[in-house]
């Protein structure tokens, strides 16, 4: 799952990318304005995986991951009726956005709009995305209408359903509301996702509050579905990510009067935002967190590990993480009769420890 980091020039995208991924890309007070993309994969911190590792002492531990892509150069064409094709492509291909909004004052860093005004800036990109989606939806509707007039429809019910759905999306966008606020069935969501609609994508808004800025996230009303809002001290977090010893981090936090680094929280929020959850597999070889969409079944989970496991699925042995911890070992889990046997349609819960029995 991949999240695109977007925002106006100089708002701190690369700084926050560095903070989240521990990278050390150059950040400058001058925006090149060109499309420039960096990608990195990060582990999702998970204390449960840490505990399972302590218990099983496996040769290998694998955390769930999130991929971040820093997408620079979004300003080009904004408000001028068009982003470049490659830029649109980048935006369409991510699963969600981290929308960075500048909330820090710093005279040495020019602002493309001259003044620092987070709410205005948030609206600039939101407005652009609404417009782009409206164009996409109207083009598709026009094409469907053409097909109808020419009598060139393969699947009438699908054609009709798609038209109705796109009209709903169009009404929503015309009312200046993001498509992700519509109540969509999974099938409708999937269909709209196929068009790469930007306002459909889950979004985490990050106010970059600088060194001593106030927390804007708490008193902003930005009520949308599949949306979260947080504040982060961008530059400080990027510096913390470069420290490799815990004492240095502790000193740094103390100096700036910060409770705890925001990195883990933001990565966790990113993960939650994408509507995914973790299940675990354990053993002496490997302790591993796997990601599946919420609502996935045991056979979906098996297929995430290997297609053979889904194909030859017999049953899943399952113990919830908390029950495993209170029993202390698999032997004890079994002795207490706490191992659940689940079939293909069992709906996997966050934190399930699974062992798939299969036969191919
Ligand atoms: N004072 C202060 N400066 C910051 C903070 N975050 C970023 N900056 C500065 O703002 C400038 C731009 O930061 P970048 O991270 O490069 O911003 P960007 O959004 O990636 O910029 P472009 O990719 O050029 O659009 C750099 O000089 C950063 O050091 C912050 O929290 N406080
Ligand atoms: Mg940048």
Whether residue 216 is contained in a domain is answered as yes
Q: Which of 9, 11, 12, 73 to mutate to test the pocket of ligand 1 (most atoms within 8 A of CB)?
A: 12
- Dist. CA 16 → ligand 1 center (Å): 8
Give me ligand 1 centre to Cα 24, in Å: 13
Average of per-residue pLDDT values in the chain = 92
Token pair 């496991």 in the structure block, residue:
309
Ligand nearest to the CA of 18: 1
Q: Which domain, by its residues, includes 48? A: 2-272
Does residue 285 form part of some domain? no
Q: How far is the CA of 32 from the centre of ligand 2 (A)?
A: 8
E runs forming strands in the chain: 2-6, 36-43, 60-62, 65-72, 96-102, 203-208, 227-232, 276-281, 286-293, 313-320, 340-342, 352-358
Give 297's pLDDT tier (boundaries 50, 70, 90): very high
Q: Considering the domain boundaries, does residue 289 fall inside one?
A: no
How confident is residue 79, by pLDDT bands cut at 50, 70 and 90?
Answer: low
Other Cβ atoms closer than 10 A to 287? 26
* Mean pLDDT across 12-37: 88
| Residue 213 sits in the same domain as residue 352 | no
The Cα–Cα gap between 271 and 306 comes to: 22
Query: Does residue 288 fall inside a structural domain?
Result: no
Average pLDDT rounded to a whole number, residues 179-198:
94
Q: How many structural domains comprise the chain? A: 2
User: Is the residue at 290 inside a domain?
Assistant: no
Which has more confidence, 213 or 197? 197
Quick one: 313 and 199 in the same domain? no
Please tell me the distance from the alpha carbon of residue 150 to that of residue 132, in angstroms, as a whole number.
Answer: 27
Within a domain: 139:
yes
Q: Is residue 131 part of a domain?
A: yes
User: Which of ligand 1's atoms lies nearest the C-alpha of 75?
Assistant: 25
What pLDDT score does 360 carry?
Answer: 85
Average pLDDT for residues 280-308, to the nearest whole number? 96
| Residues 65 and 42: beta-carbon distance below 8 Å | yes
Q: Which bound ligand lies closest to the C-alpha atom of 208?
A: 1
- Check whether residue 52 and residue 132 sit in a common domain: yes
Residue ranges lining ligand 1, Cβ < 6 Å: 7, 9-15, 27-29, 31, 72, 104, 106, 109, 208, 210-211, 233-235
Residue 17 CA, closest ligand 1 atom number: 15
Residue 48 C-alpha from the chain's centroid: 21
Same domain, 53 and 199: yes
**Structure tokens given for 263:** 């990195």
Q: Is 221 found in the same domain as 341?
A: no
316: CATH: 3.10.20.30
Whether 278 is in a domain gets the answer no
Distance (angstroms) between ligand 2 centre and the Cα of 247 equals: 30
Give CA–CA dist 242/197, Å, rounded. Answer: 36
141/247 same-domain check: yes
Percent of the chain residues topping a pLDDT of 90: 77
- Euclidean distance between the first and final Cα of the chain, in Å? 29
Q: What is the CATH number of the domain that holds 223?
A: 3.40.50.300
Q: Is the pLDDT of residue 218 over 80?
A: no
189-215 burial, b if ≥16 CB within 10 A, otherwise e?
A: bebbeebbbbbbbbbbbbbbbbeebee
Cβ neighbours of residue 329 under 8 Å, at least 6 residues apart? Answer: 55
| For residues 241-253, average pLDDT | 90
Structure tokens at 88: 């649109």
- Index of the ligand 1 atom closest to the CA of residue 26: 16
Ligand 1, atom 24, residue with closest C-alpha: 31
């Amino acid at each position: 799952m991949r999240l695109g980091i977007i925002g106006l020039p100089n708002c701190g995208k690369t700084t926050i990318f560095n903070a989240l991924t521990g990278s050390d890309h150059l950040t400058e007070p001058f925006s090149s304005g060109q499309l420039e993309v960096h990608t990195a994969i990060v582990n999702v911190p998970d204390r449960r995986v840490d505990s399972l590792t302590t218990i099983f002492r496996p040769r290998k531990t694998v955390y769930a991951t999130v991929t971040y892509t820093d997408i620079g150069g979004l300003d080009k064409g904004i408000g001028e009726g068009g982003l470049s094709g490659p830029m649109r492509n980048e935006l369409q291909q991510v699963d969600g956005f981290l929308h960075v909004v500048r909330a820090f004052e710093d005279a040495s860093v020019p602002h493309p709009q001259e003044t620092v005004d987070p709410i205005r800036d948030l609206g600039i990109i939101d407005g652009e995305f609404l417009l782009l989606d409206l164009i996409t939806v109207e083009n598709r509707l026009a094409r469907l209408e053409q097909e109808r007039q020419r009598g060139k429809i393969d699947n009438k019910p699908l054609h009709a359903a798609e038209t109705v759905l796109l009209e709903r999306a169009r009404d929503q966008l015309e009312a200046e509301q993001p498509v992700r606020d519509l109540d969509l069935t999974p099938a409708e969501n999937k269909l709209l996702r196929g068009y790469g609609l930007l306002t459909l994508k889950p979004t985490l808004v990050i106010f970059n509050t600088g060194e001593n800025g106030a927390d804007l996230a708490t008193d902003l009303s930005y009520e949308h579905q599949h949306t979260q809002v947080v504040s982060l001290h961008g530059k400080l977090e990027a510096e913390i990510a470069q420290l490799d010893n815990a004492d240095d981090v502790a000193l740094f936090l103390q100096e700036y009067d910060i409770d705890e680094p925001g990195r883990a929280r933001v990565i966790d929020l990113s993960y939650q935002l994408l509507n995914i959850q973790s299940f675990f597999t354990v053993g002496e070889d490997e302790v591993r967190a796997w990601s599946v969409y919420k609502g996935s079944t045991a056979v979906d989970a098996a297929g995430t590990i290997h297609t053979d496991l889904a194909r030859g699925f017999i049953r899943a042995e399952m113990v919830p993480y908390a029950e495993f911890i209170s029993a202390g070992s698999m032997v004890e889990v079994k002795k207490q009769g706490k191992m659940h046997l689940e079939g293909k349609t069992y709906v996997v819960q966050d934190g399930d420890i699974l062992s798939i029995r299969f036969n191919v």
